[in-house]
Chain A
């Protein structure tokens, strides 16, 4: 096989990894609004992805870096052409990362609610925008003879692209709901399954239209096979969800994502970015690629490093395999700060409106350890009060 084809496949694999992993991260972010009943449940959801979201996001950086190295022309045209959507995605990813880390760092309710709002929107928007971006890549955009994007923002907002965005948004949210059902315990787990059932059906509806549309434009046998596979896996995931087989439904929603990404890349091949102006100006795996020398080095490094990455990332999931529920969330700022700490003994500053995890110690951040310190461990007020 040509090295350029190998790297086309590897980039598809990287995007699959990204959408599989950050897909449920985005979904969880969206569900903090729709699934969680109170702020404590919201924290349960956020903490299901707490230890892993950062590692998941690196799949995006690797996909982008690999595209830069293996297909410089693709990287250049795509990133400069989709300028404003990417700007929006970047702003979301920047705010989102900070939101996860900083939300619990202060006890004030206003502070925490602000970051919670941020987590919702900065999960929802990229989940939608990635679909828009990929639908546009597959459909083709105006690319001129110099391989430059020659369109405007409006060229990117076609019905097909917006449908793609709606599909990734619902698919990722479904994936997130299934993940939540797998990772939580208690009432929220049952509710996650009910949510997943509805989301799955909506996703299925959108998927049928979008994938049929894609097939109509780029029909070929291979992508037809993956289209069917995506549909079957989605229905099977719904069935497994109905039967409360959460591991299966998560695996199957993962297969759905993988098959959907495969469909898009198969519909694309051998182009990487078709031109709507003139097919001769399309970027292909040949005319957008790096040299064989670079691709050879990349292949060797990726061949050794990727299995190692998969190994230790999987290990992380195994370490944090335990389901979590409201009882596992340490109270935000348990009263009675450490002796010798300024302002140490905080009391209850006031009742929280809709959850027991509200602020009860307004001015002592690290005194008794909301995070690293682990002061909550073993304390009676820690357990699901």
Chain B
């Protein structure tokens, strides 16, 4: 009995480790693809060197990052079959199709055009080369949609029936799987959160250089783009998160009750700021709360009741039979808070940065800076931030880089562990999904191998990123400024070295 439990636990840990790791690269890939495409568009339209240098600088970091995202993604697709064969058998009729389409429609797009973009600087005319990075960006977003639709089906299964004879779930309405509100809301929340990561990444690295007064022109432009992205994405992440939470209150009341450590149904329900609970006794020992706020988050008013953990548990026992339908409550409670806390912290720093580095608005002539100067941090019209505070702002802005990544990771940990004990909510329990034929030793082997490999690769990747970050944007050559005019490259000199080679 112990062993059977252990195998599910191991498979879950492996999924958790590999998925959280994979998702460190995904949001940065999604957002940087678009941001690099925007920078390159700015260059193509204006011809200004600063945009091309920025494109090359951020493009290089983007490539270092996407390599990891791509390879760790391969594992994800195999893992369902390897560790979760009974899950795969049960849901394959529904879950397989979005995965297949993700590969066929999105991955091909992304992977083929990324090759054209990397090697295409001296092979493609300017506008066609620009189109390739946009194709990559579209590919990443499409890919996100398919995989989130698949995940949403696990959160809230729709458009299916259970075949009593075979005991498997069967698809009845694919359009519903793709367009259900869970999928749309999850997609909106995940994509905006991805841009939060990309915006913060740009802000952080730009701050690193501006603090040292290096590469000012490119970094100033990058800072501005990063800050705008950070703030816009931060606001939209909050709005889409609110929307998703409201859907979750309807579809998975247990997850949201656990997120609030709300043991008993209350109306009006308070929002918990801090709590220490006693899971066995089913109540909180310590609780700091904002009255009525939870009712507002769930229902848009300050009075309607929100179901608590104990009542939801009773309701689920009545529906699904005896069992413990509560997720790990401390994990749900704290992951929810880390997600919101780190996300909102980066948004706040973004708003502060946007204000402090403003160019003209309510700013005296004296404090305005040209495009080659480090922006001065102006608190009010005529008052600059002190030297110490200025240094602190840049340092904080640098640290912001990590915040949305942490928020993203906790967000996934929250939504996936909060759904437990279900792998498909209300339909299939996680314990019923593991591969019966795979031994404990095999799972331990693979988990050890992946963890060690991923740890090594993380060190390699971070060091490489740091190296390229420190080097700053490249100087341009004539070849950069004069891209070819025909596809395949101009043939003036047949022995000319390639602009890029591995």
Contacts and interface: CB of A to CB of B under 8 A. Distances in A.
Interface in A341-385: 341-342, 364-369, 371-379, 382-384
A110 B467 CA distance: 17
Contact of A52 (B56, B57, B63, B115): B115
B449 A91 contact: yes
Interface string A49-83: 01111110110111011111111110111111101
A286 interface: no
Given A54-B70, A78-B81, A313-B108, A104 B502 contact: yes
B89 A147 contact: yes
A87 B214 CA distance: 45
A21 B108 CA distance: 13
Contacts of A39: none
B394 to A, nearest CB: 18
Interface stretch (A95-103, A189-197, A247-255): A95-103
B337 interface: no
Given A98-B67, A321-B488, A371 B471 contact: no
Interface in A13-70: 43, 46-47, 50-55, 57-58, 60-62, 64-70
A378 B479 contact: yes
B1 to A, nearest CB: 20
Nearest to A293: B171
A378 B122 CA distance: 11
Contacts of B472: 341-342, 366
B86 A319 contact: no
Classify chain B's interface size.
35 or more
B497 A383 contact: yes
B100 A65 contact: yes
B474 A368 contact: yes
Nearest to B469: A366
Contacts of B473: 366
Nearest to B57: A366
Given A298-B100, A301-B104, A329-B498, A148 B171 contact: no
Contact of A150 (B80, B92, B107, B437): B437
A302 B96 CA distance: 14
Contacts of B13: none
B114 interface: yes
Contacts of B487: 319
A146 B436 contact: yes
B71 A94 contact: yes
Contacts of B82: 79-80, 83, 86-87
B497 A376 contact: yes
A247 B343 CA distance: 55
Contacts of A318: 488
Contacts of A77: 85
B501 A50 contact: yes
B437 A61 contact: no
A57 B71 CA distance: 10
B113 to A, nearest CB: 8
Interface stretch (A130-138, A236-244, A304-312): A304-312
B78 interface: yes
A315 B456 CA distance: 37
B468 interface: yes
B182 interface: no
A201 interface: no
Interface string B166-185: 00101110100000000000
Contact of A68 (B57, B95, B460, B500): B95
B103 interface: yes
A339 interface: yes
B81 A76 contact: yes
Contacts of B94: 294
B72 interface: yes
Contacts of B168: 72
Contacts of A293: 170-172, 174
A373 B471 contact: no
A139 interface: no
Interface string B109-141: 101111110111111100000000000000000
Contact of B104 (A97, A103, A305, A342): A305
Given A148-B437, A293-B170, A328 B74 contact: no
A1 interface: no
B112 A366 contact: no
Interface string A292-334: 0110011001100110010011001011111010011111000
A50 B119 CA distance: 8
A61 B89 contact: no
A290 interface: yes
Contact of B92 (A290, A320, A329): A290
A90 interface: yes
12 contacts: A61-B74, A75-B80, A97-B70, A98-B67, A106-B464, A106-B467, A306-B104, A329-B498, A368-B474, A374-B480, A375-B475, A377-B478
Interface of A: 43, 46-47, 50-55, 57-58, 60-62, 64-73, 75-81, 83-84, 86-87, 90-91, 93-98, 100-106, 146-150, 290-291, 293-294, 297-298, 301-302, 305-306, 309, 312-313, 316, 318-322, 324, 327-331, 338-342, 364-369, 371-379, 382-384
User: A-B pairs with the 8 shortest C-beta distances?
Assistant: A72-B92, A79-B81, A69-B96, A374-B499, A338-B475, A377-B479, A65-B100, A68-B96
